[in-house]
Amino acid sequence: PHVPVSPLGPGWSCRAVLSDAHTRTVRRVSWSPCGQYLASASFDGTTCVWKRQQDGFEVVATLEGHENEVKSVAWAPSGTLLATCSRDKSVWVWEVDDEEEEFECVSVLSAHTQDVKHVVWHPSLQLLASASYDDTVRLYREDDDDWLCCATLEGHTSTVWAVAWDSSGQRLVSCSDDRTLRVWQRQDSEGQGSGSEPSWKCVCTLSGYHGRSIYDVAWCHLTGAVATACGDDAVRVFEEVTPVSPMSPPKVHRSHFPAAFPCFPRLTLHCSASVLSTSVEAEPSLRNSPSVSFSRHMSRMARAVFPVSFRE
Amino acid sequence: MAARFSGVLQLTELDDFIAPSQECIKPVKVDTKPGKAAAKIRIEADGSYFQVNQDGEEQKLEKAKITLNDCLACSGCITSAESVLISQQSHGELCKVLALNKAAAAHEQKVMVVSVSPQSRASLAARCKLGLLETAQRLTQFLKSVHYVFDMTFSRNFSLLESQREFVRRFHRKAEDKKALPMLASACPGWICYAEKTHGSFIIPHISTTKSPQQVMGSLVKGYFAEQQHLPPDRIYHVTVMPCYDKKLEASRADFFNQEYQTRDVDCVITTGEVLKLLEQEGVSLSDVDPAPLDTMLGGAAEELSSHRGGGSGGFLEHIFTHAAKELFGIHVGSIHYKPLKNKDFQEVTLERDGEVLLQFALAYGFRNIQNLVQKLKRGKCPYDYVEVMACPSGCLNGGGQIKLEGESSKEELQQVERLYESLRAEIPEENQAVRELYEHWLGGWGSQRAQEMLHTQYHAVEKTNSALNIKW
């Protein structure tokens, strides 16, 4: 197949186009911690696991079972677990059998009451977070031979689009359609005796900064900065201001960078959103608004910066 | 709609039930005629719709309907039709029927029969802190406006025997028929509905055609028992007490509807929890009720209760395994050793001789294990000859309709119910005199045509067609 020359200029080349496995939009991809495997989650209801080969990638497993669109996939830091989530309101945890490269479903978690948008693993523990259209974030952990939902973080007043953990795993940040960011802190239950579930408290709500839905959030494990992707065409970076007294919750300082960021001479935000696989592609130039003939919601998404992540 | 739903449906702690699905798999079929141009639609005051064409011509539009039976295959539905179906079979409904029956004229009155599943009995016993026999006797007395109260353990004998024989038949033809094995259990309607809907014609050939104990009871009550009472089947109202809600859907399947007499084999299913509600409604505590002698289908009182070995979901794996080992290999199996795999709801049982594996069976309970099993089957990597598939994690004793005990952890509750359930003497189906008699005199012998009709059923793949409701946007 014709491999297009990358528009991003020298330094990057397109090594592979993996086009035969999915029959609908591929919504998310995730590298395994060892780098040998790539998982792709698709609206066709399947998640494919690709293995790096000499000359490209090959599908080693197709995870089926979700009833409809798979919205997100994430590898656990251990490399042995995979999590997927779907519009069917469930989160599935899969385990890979090393020798056979076979994946088996370890748990089907139906705690959310609506479409689940995003799943992300804790940086070091086998603790999973999910974000949903039901306005909550849920956390899951293993219990005996099954998994259970060990916490429900309520507070957002609309769809939670994404979550990100800080480097310690003691806090996580969620971004929502309600235009706020919420930072949740783990409360260790010292007074409640051992064996009781830690609870999570919302220690900070950032409202008034974003003009529209916040679609993605990333928490830099190096610097602690939090970046957001918003439907108002901007990327924002937040940094924590050292608290004045140990009792007050951390304040966050807001910086608004429409298209530039101190570390890069010029950050090119390239957004191509192909919403249907037979698509009308929405590739915004920085000058014109794209003309997209979808609903207003979709066209806004196509213009927005979506998604965002930090270079490790 | 939710208000009419029997209030006892609750979410349990365990997360591995097959969750209600979003997609309506039964599209609404309305005859469409090609139109020339866009028409306007006018809504009348009475809610009916009229299409007004460009030339002013009016046409009343058909109301699109989904029948209750259409919703069977869905494990959850966008409309509330399914909850209507279930609410049609609630304890409230039962009370209504009982009251109506009492008030009816003598020649119109129905004989009321209740069949109680052993799992429901164990759950009630645990809750009321009574022994199983006491529970059975007192329940019989409590339901005194009902004419007969039977124990479903009796019909389970038939399910077990038929399953055993079916497996051996399939094993013999496995060389020519690739779909003969693995044979998958058929007693769980949650599993059946899911299989028909999601995997359809791929998986159906593997499912045992043997009826579940509930439906065998239906055939016995509306068939044999009705004849004995010199009544047509529609003069009997058959209620079953079951550990889950899916049994309500099973009872409403078209396959279990007697066309000739326009009557269902099982008219109404109530869950264990709903029986408790009934007790509470009447302000009765089961321990205060006097025990009454137990009824049996062949007449005469039952002295004691019995059960079957092999766990709280019927014991299909154990019985089929034991029978197959003897019939196929001449091996007598004493006790069965279960090897737990990934989790406690997925266990293996193997028959070996001189290092060679002769039979490999498995238990697969709960959605995640069912998923893994089906995926293995699809990839041709399923090593099992028989799998006892149940939708509920931990099996029927942990069914969605069982009673939640207060003040104890769900694990302890379940263990208590299991202990009670297993405290009974286990009987061997082949040795049950009443069962043998029925086979001989009513069914015309083992493997007869009549036995096939009465004790076996079939499945239907649900075809998804394109309609506005399931177009993927």
Nearest-angstrom CA–CA distance, A40 and A26: 7
User: Quick check: A203 contacting B, CB < 8 Å?
Assistant: no
Residues A150 and A171 in one domain: no
**Closest of A219, A286, A228, A215 to residue A257, by C-alpha:** A228
Hey, is the C-beta of B365 within 8 angstroms of any chain A C-beta? no
What is the Cα B414 distance to its own chain's centre? 20
Residues of B in contact with A87 (CB under 8 A): 22
How confident is the model over B188-207, as pLDDT tens digits? 999 998 899 888 889 999 99
Q: Do A145 and B23 touch (CB under 8 A)?
A: no
Residue at A182 is within a domain: yes
A67 inside 8 A of chain B by CB: yes
| Positive or negative torsion for Cα B329, B332, B338, B339 | negative
- The per-residue pLDDT for B37 is 61
CA-CA distance, B188 to B194, in Å (whole number)?
A: 10
What the block records as the tokens of B192 is 């059946």
Q: Do A148 and B15 count as a contact with CB atoms less than 8 A apart?
A: yes
- Which of B259, B264, B188 shows the shortest CA–CA distance to B221? B264
pLDDT at B283: 86
Are residues B22 and A148, on separate chains, in Cβ contact within 8 Å? no
Question: Are A146 and B16 in contact (CB < 8 Å)?
Answer: yes
A68: chain B residues, CB-CB within 8 Å: 22-23, 472
List, for residues B411-461, the tens digit of each pLDDT value: 888 898 999 999 999 999 999 999 999 999 999 998 899 999 999 999 998
- How many residues belong to chain A? 312
For B394, half-sphere exposure in the C-beta direction (CA atoms, 13 angstrom radius) is 21
Give whole-number Cα distances, A162 to A117, A138, A156, A308, B78, in Å.
Answer: 7, 11, 12, 11, 27
pLDDT at residue number B384: 97
Q: In this prediction, what percent of chain B has a pLDDT beyond 90?
A: 51
B198 contacts in chain A (CB < 8 Å): 67
Residue B194 sits at the chain A interface (C-beta within 8 Å) = no
**Quick check: A105 contacting B, CB < 8 Å?**
yes
Distance from A92 to chain B by nearest Cα, in Å? Answer: 9
Q: Which two tokens stand for residue B238?
A: 């058959």
Residues A133 and A95 in one domain: yes
Least confident of A17-31, A189-203, B369-383: A189-203
Asked if residue B348 belongs to a domain, the reply is: yes
Chain A touched by B469 (CB under 8 Å): no
Pairwise CA distance, residues A121 & B47, whole Å:
51
User: Residue A267 pLDDT > 70, yes or no?
Assistant: no
Tell me if chain A has a CB within 8 Å of the CB of B344. yes
- Residue A151 distance to chain B (closest CA, Å): 13
What band does A33 get if pLDDT is binned at 50, 70 and 90?
very high
- pLDDT over 70 percentage in chain B: 82
Task: Give, in degrees to the nearest 5, the angle at Cα A127 between A121 and A133.
Answer: 65
B411 touches chain A (CB under 8 A): no
Lowest mean pLDDT across A53-57, B105-109, B416-420: B105-109
Percent pLDDT > 70 in chain A is 71
Does B344 contact A145 at a Cβ distance shorter than 8 Å? yes
Nearest to B343 among A24, A110, A145 (CB): A145
Average pLDDT over residues B301-310: 83
Contacts of B15 in chain A (CB under 8 A): 107-111, 146-149
CB pair distance less than 8 Å for A146 and B472: no
Query: Who contacts B280 (Cβ-Cβ below 8 Å, separation ≥6)?
Result: none
What pLDDT was estimated at residue B331?
Answer: 94
Question: Do A108 and B16 make contact, defined as CB atoms within 8 angstroms?
Answer: yes
Give residue B23's pLDDT: 53
User: Do residue B368 and residue A88 have CB atoms under 8 angstroms apart?
Assistant: no
A185 and A230 co-located in one domain: yes
Q: Does A104 touch chain B (CB under 8 A)?
A: yes
Whether A93 and A148 share a structural domain: yes
State how far the Cα of B418 lies from the Cα of B212, in Å rounded to an integer. Answer: 21
- Closest Cβ–Cβ partner in A87, A90, A145 for B19: A90
What pLDDT was estimated at residue B105? Answer: 78
Same domain, A148 and A207: no
Closest Cβ opposite residue A106 in set B17, B19, B368: B368
pLDDT per position as a tens digit, A163-172 = 999 999 999 9
Interface membership of B22 toward A (CB under 8 Å): yes
Report the gap between the CA of A109 and the closest CA in chain B (Å).
6
Instruction: Give B343's contacts in chain A (Cβ within 8 Å).
Output: 106, 145-146
Which residues in chain B are contacts of A69 at CB distance < 8 A? 472
Mutate to test the interface with A, among B371, B411, B469, B471 (most CBs of A within 10 A): B371
Per-residue pLDDT for B24 more than 60? Answer: no
- The answer to whether residues A84 and A117 belong to one domain is yes
What's the gap in Å between the CA of A33 and the closest CA on chain B?
24
DSSP B293: P
CB A235 within 8 A of CB A225: no
pLDDT tier at B3 (50, 70, 90 boundaries)? very low
Domain of A231 in residue numbering reads as 164-189+198-243+267-274
Q: Which of B386-410 are b and which e, b meaning 16 or more Cβ less than 10 Å from the residue's Cβ? A: bbbbbbbbbbbbbbbbbbebeeeee
Number of domains in chain A: 2
Chain A to chain B, count of Cβ pairs less than 8 Å apart? 57
Residues A225, A257: Cα–Cα separation, whole Å: 14
Helix B272-282 crosses helix B91-103 at what angle (to 10 degrees)?
A: 60
Residue A212 distance to chain B (closest CA, Å): 24
In sequence order, the 6+-apart residues with CB closer than 8 A to the CB of B250 are B189, B192, B212, B214, B215, B256, B266, B269
- A64/B15 Cβ within 8 A: no
Tell whether A77 and A180 lie within a shared domain: no
Q: How many angstroms away from the CA of B79 is the closest CA of chain A?
A: 16
Summarize the confidence of residues B233-242 as an average pLDDT. Answer: 93
- pLDDT interval class at A282 (50, 70, 90): very low
A283 contact B CB<8A:
no
Q: Per the structure block, which two tokens stand in for A294?
A: 């979808």
Report residue A103 as tokens. 């994946």
Using a CB-CB cut-off of 8 Å, the residues of chain A touching B19 are: 88-90, 108, 110
Task: Give the residue from chain B lying closest to A294, CA to CA.
Answer: B473
Least confident piece of the model among A101-115, A202-216, A217-231, B68-82: B68-82
Domain assignment present for A262? no
Q: How confident is the model at residue B32 (pLDDT cuts 50, 70, 90)?
A: low
Residue B73 is assigned to a structural domain of this protein: no
Tell me, yes or no, whether A52 and A134 share the same domain.
yes
Instruction: Check residues B222 and B63 and name the one with the higher pLDDT.
Output: B222
Same domain, A25 and A122: yes
Structure tokens at B417: 């119910």
CATH, residue A119: 2.130.10.10
pLDDT range class, residue B467, cuts 50, 70, 90: very low
For residue A106, list chain B residues with Cβ-Cβ distance below 8 A. 342-343, 368
Considering the domain boundaries, does residue B252 fall inside one?
A: no
What's the pLDDT score for residue A254? 46
User: Which of A195-209, A272-286, B97-111, B262-276 is predicted least confidently?
Assistant: A272-286
In a domain, A255, yes or no: no
Verify that A178 and A97 share a domain, yes or no: no
Q: Which segment of A280-284, A303-307, B353-357, B440-444 scores lowest on mean pLDDT?
A: A280-284
Distance separating alpha carbons of residues B260 and A99, to the nearest angstrom: 58
Give the gap in angstroms from C-alpha B429 to the nearest C-alpha of chain A: 34
- Vertex B50: Cα angle to B45 and B56 (nearest 5): 120
Please tell me the predicted confidence (pLDDT) of residue A8: 59
DSSP at A4? P
CB atoms within 10 A of CB A97: 12
* B347, β-bridge pairs: B340, B363
B31 has pLDDT over 60: no
Q: What is the average pLDDT across B334-361?
A: 93
Into how many domains does chain B fold?
1
pLDDT in tens, B76-104: 443 344 555 565 667 777 888 888 888 88
Here the CATH number for the domain that contains residue B162 is 3.40.950.10
**Per the CB < 8 Å rule, is A67 touching B13?**
no
User: How far apart, in whole angstroms, are the C-alpha atoms of residue B216 and residue A121?
Assistant: 49
Residues 6+ away with beta carbon under 8 Å from B374: B199, B203
Of residues B19, B342, B372, nearest to A110 (C-beta): B19
Strands B111-116 and B148-151, how do they pair? parallel
* A7 falls within a domain: no
CB atoms within 10 A of CB A174: 25
- Residue A148 within any structural domain of the chain: yes
Together in a domain, A172 and A117 = no
Residue B183 in domain: yes
What is the distance in angstroms between the CA of the first residue and the CA of the last residue of chain A? Answer: 31
Q: How far is B368 from chain A (nearest CA, A)?
A: 6
Interface test with A, best of B193, B375, B410, B471 (most A CBs within 10 A): B375
B23 near A CB under 8 A: yes
Q: Which of A108, A133, A134, A144 has the highest number of chain B CBs within 10 A, making it the mutation to test binding with B?
A: A108
Closest residue in A to B16 (Cα) is A108
- Rounded to whole angstroms, the Cα distance separating B425 from B431 reads 13
What is the predicted pLDDT for the residue at B293? 82
pLDDT at B280: 86
- The pLDDT-based confidence of A2 (bands split at 50, 70, 90) is low
Are A92 and A172 members of one domain? no
Name the residue among A87, A89, A107 with its Cβ closest to that of B368: A107
A79 part of a folded domain: yes
Question: Per the CB < 8 Å rule, is A88 touching B21?
Answer: yes
Burial of A54 (0-12, 13-18, 19+ CB in 10 A): exposed
Q: What is the CA radius of gyration of chain A?
A: 20
Q: Is the pLDDT of residue B64 over 90?
A: no
Residue B411 Cα, gap to closest chain A Cα (Å): 12
- The residue segments making up the domain with residue B444 are 157-210+312-401+430-455
Give A145→chain B minimum CA distance, Å.
Answer: 5
Please give the ipTM for the structure prediction. 0.74
Residue B119 within a domain: no
- Å between A278 CA and nearest CA of chain B: 12
Query: Does residue B112 lie within any of the structural domains?
Result: no
